[in-house]
Amino acid sequence: MSKQFTKPFNPIQWPAAPHDFTGDNNLGIYTAETTQRYVYGTRYITWDGRVYKYMGVTTNGCTSYRGVCGTSEAETTWVTAVAASAGSRSLTVTDATTIAEDLLAGGMIHIYNATIANGVNMFITGNEASNGTNVKIYLEFPLSAAVTTSDSEEMWHNPYRLVEGTDSRETHPWLGVPCVTAASGYNVWVQTWGTTLIGPGNTTLDDAAVNERQVLWMGNGFLGETGEAAITAGYQQLAGYLQDAGTGDIAGPRIYLMCST
């Protein structure tokens, strides 16, 4: 259990690089390990502003030429199990599910403080293993107001803890493109911003017409442009834009990815 994160979590800046322990060569963002080295969501930024985030891979694994989506859903509403005073860095909430130690690290809790108008979002740095009745969590900052047993909460897991590559996820958020192909149970770095290459979902993506630059995520982790049959204007999540000039047959094509800075 940790009152603070037990793994590195500070943003990694250029010229530093993420370290791995896979052998004599430090593969940096191109490693895949079953051992977790960083808090999920840890950010690495390169000299030109590309952003990568550390993520854990679940069912279906991931491939390096198409996107991964988040699988975390909103949790059900809970209530305070033990009252906490203003300034406390921990909170115990009711929870009848099985939550392993520190499973919620990097997640979020919304504390309603009697009314929605007084609600506050706080982030979770660790948790004790649940006992089948409640779970004790540790907070990034002290509570700004006392919390009573009449107050309700909602909690969410770390959105980067369980991601996947899949053929059909029309209801999931697309988080970026993994640097390497990996199976379920591995931890990888996923690019979320900047110049990259992503598999097109149709053959016309690189045949850019006049003013046709924007690309969007298709439900299988590939990309399509507005006007393509699988894309409905105003619905799919923005992926970025075509980065290379040209009106047709742009090699690649390179995409300026715009998921998360």
157-215 pLDDT, tens digit each: 999 999 999 888 888 999 999 999 999 999 999 999 999 988 887 777 777 777 778 88
pLDDT at 240: 93
Contacts of 21 (CB under 8 A, 6+ apart): 33, 35, 37
172 and 62 inside one domain: yes
135 and 171 inside one domain: no
Q: How many domains does the chain have?
A: 2
152 and 195 inside one domain: no
Quote the CA–CA distance of 153 and 82 in Å, as a whole number: 13
164 and 254 inside one domain: yes
53 and 98 inside one domain: no
Contacts of 23 (CB under 8 A, 6+ apart): none
29-36: long-range pairs with CB below 8 Å, 24+: 29/179, 29/189, 30/179, 30/180, 30/189, 31/180, 31/188, 31/189, 32/180, 32/181, 32/182, 32/186, 32/187, 32/188, 33/186, 33/187, 34/185, 34/186, 34/187, 35/187, 36/7, 36/187
With tokens 């010229």, the residue in question is 15
| Cβ-based burial of 21 (10 A; exposed 0-12, middle 13-18, buried ≥19) | exposed
2 and 33 inside one domain: yes
244-254 pLDDT, tens digit per residue, is: 887 777 777 88
93 and 215 inside one domain: no
Q: Give the domain-ending residue among 156, 191, 226.
A: 156
- In this prediction, residue 4 has a pLDDT band, given cuts at 50, 70 and 90, of low
100 and 120 inside one domain: yes
Q: What domain range is 230 assigned to?
A: 1-72+158-261
152 and 169 inside one domain: no
> CA torsion 158→161→164→169, rounded to 10°?
-10
pLDDT at 73: 81
Beta bridge partners of 135: 93
pLDDT at 28 over 90: no
11 and 123 inside one domain: no
Beta bridge partners of 156: 108
